[in-house]
A and B are shown apart, each in its own frame.
Chain A
Amino acid sequence: MTSPSLPYETEVVERIQESPTIFTLRLRFTDPAYRAAFRFEPGQFNMLYLYGVGEVAISIVSDPDDEHLFSHTIRVVGRVTRGMAQLKSGDRLGVRGPYGRGWPLPLAEGRDVMVLTGGLGCAPVVSVINYVTRRRDRFRRLVIMQGVKHSDDLIWRKQYAAWGKLRDTQVLVAANVGATLWPWHVGNVTELFDQVKFDAPRAVVMMCGPEGMMEVAMQQLLDRGVSPDNVYLSMERNMNCAIGLCGHCQFGGKYVCRDGPVFRYSDVKPLFGIRGF
């Protein structure tokens, strides 16, 4: 039995600097057979191993139908990610995965889709936006809401502007601190719900970001008639094993790595927002 904790070698095909502290790695498994067999769903994550340093859990940001490469967008926050930021094309990285449950994209087909993000944690839902825009006919309206602390924190700014020009697509962006030529709202993204045009009772909402922001957003959504069964959110907890054994990511009786990271809101509601869980 091969240990589920064993990584496989990948090669960095491309490294993109997204912002001073955020970079994207485009990766490819070096074993062609393993590369061909690798499948994932948007919202799932991999464990990335930097040689001799350690592992981190990072969501997959690329399209699941891209057969050649997969991508991770990473923010420098700790020892491992600081090391990963030094990687260049041709460097090697260990990867195991994919793990967890992804976004409910089949459920969202034929319905309005809202994608809501706060802070810098937009990577997990950007995979959803890309998924929907590339398969536009399968979905109805697309509402993209993104909040950042400072306008400089918004990565993929041109993409947000481009998405705003697509049909049946609404882009609402907010920064707590704006800057010259910032075209969007200054304040909290949760202040923009009055501008949202969508079929609330049937809409599927996918959120990720700080839990405080998601709590506020949840209330706004419920007030507008969105069903708690149609709201999905991606949670983050410490992960060491990613396979439901190490105990770090427990959230009540659930493991974020195995039962999440994407949860239906009604499944996590009892403990959601309670400090210490």
Chain B
Amino acid sequence: MRKFIVFTILTGIWSISPVLGQNPVFITQQKGPILYFHVANDNVHTTADVYTLSGKRIARVFDKIVSHGDYSFNPFAGSNLPQQMYIVRLTNGTRTESISMMNLGNTSISKSNLNPNQALSAKLAKVASDNKVPTNIPGVFTIAAPPQGFDPVTAKDVDLAYYGFPPRPDSSISPKGFAAWKKGVTLSKTRIMPILKQTNLHYSPMQTTSPNWCGIVAEPHNPFTHAYGDNGCVYYLYGTFMVPVAQQAHGSCTGNWDYGASWLGIDGFFNHPVDLLQSGIAFDAYCNGGVTYTSYYAWYEWVPAAAVSIQNVTITPGDVIWIEVWSTSATEGNVYVSNANTQQSFYIDFQAPPGTQLLGNSAEWITERPLLSNGQLATLTNYTYVPFWDSYVWTFGGSTYPFSDPYGFGINMVDASNNVISKQGLPGENSVVTEAAGPALGGNYFYDPW
């Protein structure tokens, strides 16, 4: 061991120097003052302690529940320890490894892969799991109402998670974004225990041009260079929209159902990977003999699985809906949906379909026509308008970014003949208005301005 220390000091190469433990598999490398390690499993309680070379423990420098991924930290950051050699001991679940490191003083870390929000989200997932209740679909969970007087605005992060509330954004970074979240989590007085029903509708990733999506996609910088949980990746998004009136195109009464939905989701825009975590409101219209029947319901979905509807939550035109979608790992999704008019809300925790992993390289607010069970695109409901407002996306790094270029992509929807059937407009940084157009509105019925 002494030889090794001499060697590293002489050459300036800081490499792995396990002095305790049998299998040095999770400390991956050391560069300068930064220690890197890998965690293979989720929800692993990980600690790091600094020891003198004589084996006396001086300080605990890392204490977090983390999910699988790569982490790094400076064990001596912020400490006033003398600049000399120490032993840093990592305990990761049942395994312990140690490494000898020189304290280089208060070296600032310009960029760290250690992501506080990712670590926090994993911790919160563990906390929430203690309060989860199974639903009528295996593997899908919900959480009951918090106790009387519980205030989600002032509650601790762990209590928010325990009671099925979405993570809280930083008010200092975006006061308006925080105010929107605050409004969203305080709307509801009645937590619904959802009764779920599997549908055969698929709200799908965006097809190019696009025949199925209309709305706004916000993407982080360099959407192709991130891994799940990186600072630049989408952690959560939320927004408010108003449920439209479902009707068929003016002048039409087809004897069939038209379909439409507005939703918020993560991924599904860039081709790789083809996953999409989403939750929204469906507004479908059937017309026969001049009489229109409508269907409104809330749903969630993780592509490539089909949508699951919530049977016991009331949705009607004009309802103001607040939705937040977030992940607690690459394979665990969460949605919180609140209806301002009925004051009902629900929380759902669900797993990715087998083989699917979230990446978090896009966030979107979309009005869509789904794929029916026969694989065909539905006829879009004439929904007139769906305005979205108070719409924010937050990254694991704790930042939020607006819809304006280069982060936002406005998308119009077209039919098979390339007519625009749904258009989007951006009235501001955190708002998008989608509107039925052309044949979906009843273009042939009008002096068609499109």
A binds B: no
Question: Which residues from chain A sit less than 8 Å from chain B, CB to CB?
Answer: none
Question: Which residues from chain B sit less than 8 Å from chain A, CB to CB?
Answer: none
